[in-house]
Structure 1
Amino acid sequence: MTKLESTLQPIRKELIGDLEGSILEVGSGTGTNFKHYNAKAKVIALEPSSFMLDKSKAKLPKKTQITTYNMGIGDKRLDSIIKNNSLDYIICTLVLCTIPDQNLALDKFKKWLKPTGKLIVLEHIHAQNKPNRLLYNMVNPLWKIVGDGCNLNRDTDLSIKKAGFKVESEHYFKKALGFYQAVFTVSSSK
Structure 2
Amino acid sequence: MQVLIVTSLIASLLWSTGEKKTTKKAVLLSLAVPGLGELYMGEKDDALRAFAIEGGIILSYLGFNRYADILRNDYTGYAHQHSGAKTGMDEEYYNTVEWYSSRESYNISVKEEARQLFPDDRERQLKYIKDNEISPGLDWKWEDNEWQIFRNLRKGERRALSSASYCIGVGIINRFISAIISAKMGKKSNINLFFEPQPMGIRVSYVF
User: Shorter-chain-normalised TM-score: which range?
Assistant: under 0.3
**Bigger relative CO (Cα 8 Å, ≥ 6 apart):** 2
